[in-house]
Structures are given as structure tokens and as C-alpha cells.
């Protein structure tokens, strides 16, 4: 499978291929995506051009969609649907309390929000206090909570939204959706298969396969989303996957390092980020060259603010 015996080099090779393919996906170049993915498969980076996780386990999942009846907790979730649905509708009666934009750059259009209830085995106390019946139902599924490899969230998708094609990080887990609000219109593609949601019913899929979501309907879609360990993993694979779960401090450190930031804080204006000296010098040079005091990106358009100007202008 791997092109080298060194697992670190293999993972770095996958990471770089994945970043290249993600850039092609953002540019809507499916021809280049397919050619690059097939090249990677030919080099032994992955086994399937549509399954491209950075963290690939040989004994992990190898197919995109699963039969929900094969998992004990699906019956539990579907039996809990009335209580979960009633709670969510009650909490949201005065607005989407607790929901925030999904913190991944995957939205091509529309609006996609979530409430994170569990992450990497850690209960998110404020969110669970807001949705206690939902949290209680999840607490009965240790595969998604104590031993959960990923997240458990409430996922809200507005009409007109498009979640871009992407692959999850690992094939050591499966993703479960319980439909809460499932109007006509939203569709998910996983690999070459297309699925829709039904209220009170679950779908189970491997998100390490390329997947994307369209919502062409007129009403929002809401699902309870949870990640569970792939049941076919060896004991060593399970132990490795659990050991790789990052603490909150580790996640923050990785974020700061990845974005070259020295400090992040929140105040009444929102989030304030302080770049490391090298990035700060680069920003100052770019702004000095344009004569601008600030710049704002909106899609592919840049708006510049100049000293003494009342409003941002277009790119000079």
C-alpha cells in the first residue's frame, strides 16, 4: 500500500497530495482531481482514488456506505428521535441558540452551522447543558463519546448551500447521521453513491471517501451527527486511533503553529489574532506597497481601506 516503509514520510506524502487535490477541488477541476488521485493510487499512496484520508489504516474502512441495521446504536438513536427532535425544536423556538458556523473551509455557498456536543471523547458542557436530552441519548453510546474518535454535533444546513467535495482525515471511523429535519432538496454524495435523509432514521458512511452535499430545497436540513470507531479495526488500530485524539491545548497549539500566530484573544470586537514576526512583517510590507491601512477578503475579491477613507475600496 505505502510507497515507503517510513510511516511519517508516507503520511506527509498523503498530506501533500491531499492539499494539492483540495486546491483543485476548490477550483472546480474534477479532471485534474481524478488524474492526480489516480496517480497517487498508482504510486501506492491510496487504494481508491475516491478514498483519500491522510491517516489511512490498512484494517480500516474500505467502502463508502454501510447498512445502518449492522450497528446496535442505530436502533437506540432512532428510538430517541422523538425526545431529541422535541428538545431541539423547543431550544430553537427563539432562534438557533448555541449554533455557530462550521469551523472548516468547506462551504462553497449558503450557510452551514453546528453545535458541538462531544469532541475527541470530551463532553462540551455548555452545549450538552443546552441540549440535555440529546446529550443523554449520546451518553449511552460510548463508541461516540468516551471512546469517540471524532465529534458529535447538531448540523444545520440552509437551503442553497453546497458543501464542497472533501475527504475526512481517517478511515478508522464511520460517520452517522440521524435525520431531525429532512425536507426535500438536500442530497449527500459519498464516493459514487447518493443518499438522502429521513426524519427519525440513520445513515452510516465512511467520510474518508470523497463526499459533498447539495441543498436545492426551500427549508433547512438538521441532523444529529456522530463519529464512531470502525468496528473492524484491530486492537492495535483502535489503541492507535484513540491515542491520536488531541487535547484542547494540543488543538490550539496546532492551530497557532499552522497559521503562524503568536497570540489569539477575544474582545468586544470579536477575535483578535497576533501573527508571528515573520507574518507580521509580510503583512506590513504588502499594505505599505498598496498604501492601505487594512484589507478584507470577500470570496476572491479584496477590499482595501485607506487612511482617511470612509469605506473600503476595491483592489488597487
Same-domain pairing of 136 and 200: yes
**Does one domain contain both 155 and 302?**
no
For the ranges 51-55, 92-96, 159-163, which has the lowest average pLDDT? 92-96
Count of domains in the chain?
3
Q: How far apart are CA 295 and CA 243, in angstroms?
A: 41
Q: In this predicted model, which residue has the larger pLDDT, 286 or 179?
A: 179
Tell me the pTM: 0.85
Q: Say yes or no: 209 and 98 in one domain.
A: yes
Same domain for 238 and 266? no
Calpha distance 108→26 (Å, rounded): 8
Q: Are 242 and 230 in contact (CB under 8 A)?
A: no
| CB contact at 8 A, 197 and 179 | yes
Q: Is 48 inside a domain boundary?
A: no
Express each pLDDT in 248-281 by its tens digit.
Answer: 787 688 778 777 888 888 877 778 888 878 787 7
Residues 105 and 154 in one domain: yes
- The C-alpha cell 510511516 sits at 7
- Of 161, 126, 159, 168, residue with least CA distance to 22: 168
More confident residue, 234 or 248: 234
Could you list the residue range(s) of the whole structural domain that residue 220 is in?
65-245
pLDDT at 313: 56
Amino acid at each position: 500500500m505505502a510507497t515507503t516503509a517510513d510511516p511519517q514520510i508516507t503520511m506527509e506524502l498523503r498530506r501533500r497530495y491531499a492539499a494539492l487535490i483540495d486546491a483543485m477541488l476548490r477550483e472546480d477541476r474534477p479532471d485534474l482531481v481524478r488524474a492526480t488521485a489516480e496517480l497517487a493510487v498508482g504510486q501506492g499512496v491510496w487504494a481508491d482514488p475516491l478514498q483519500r484520508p491522510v491517516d489511512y489504516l490498512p484494517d480500516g474502512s474500505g467502502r463508502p456506505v454501510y447498512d445502518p441495521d449492522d450497528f446496535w446504536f442505530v436502533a437506540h438513536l432512532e428510538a430517541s428521535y422523538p425526545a431529541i427532535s422535541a428538545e431541539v425544536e423547543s431550544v430553537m423556538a427563539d432562534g438557533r441558540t448555541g449554533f455557530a458556523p462550521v469551523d472548516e473551509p468547506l462551504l462553497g455557498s449558503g450557510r452551514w452551522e453546528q453545535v458541538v456536543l462531544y469532541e475527541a471523547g470530551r463532553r462540551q458542557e455548555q452545549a450538552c447543558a443546552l441540549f440535555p436530552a440529546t446529550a443523554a441519548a449520546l451518553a449511552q453510546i460510548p463508541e461516540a463519546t468516551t471512546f469517540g474518535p471524532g465529534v458529535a454535533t447538531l448540523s444545520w444546513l440552509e437551503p442553497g448551500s453546497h458543501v464542497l467535495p472533501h475527504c475526512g482525515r481517517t478511515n478508522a471511523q464511520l460517520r452517522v447521521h440521524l435525520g431531525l429535519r429532512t425536507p426535500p432538496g438536500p442530497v449527500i454524495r459519498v464516493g459514487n453513491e447518493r443518499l438522502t435523509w429521513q426524519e427519525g432514521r440513520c445513515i452510516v458512511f465512511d467520510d474518508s471517501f470523497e463526499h459533498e452535499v447539495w441543498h436545492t430545497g426551500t427549508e433547512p436540513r438538521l441532523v444529529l451527527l456522530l463519529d464512531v470507531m470502525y468496528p473492524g479495526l484491530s486492537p492495535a488500530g483502535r489503541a492507535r486511533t484513540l491515542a491520536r485524539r488531541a487535547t484542547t491545548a494540543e488543538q490550539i497549539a496546532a492551530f497557532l503553529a499552522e497559521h503562524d500566530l503568536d497570540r489569539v484573544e477575544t474582545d468586544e470586537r470579536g477575535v483578535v489574532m497576533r501573527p508571528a514576526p515573520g507574518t507580521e512583517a509580510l503583512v506590513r510590507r504588502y499594505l505599505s506597497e498598496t498604501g492601505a491601512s487594512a484589507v478584507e477578503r470577500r470570496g476572491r475579491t479584496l477590499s482595501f481601506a485607506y487612511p482617511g477613507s470612509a469605506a473600503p475600496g476595491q483592489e488597487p
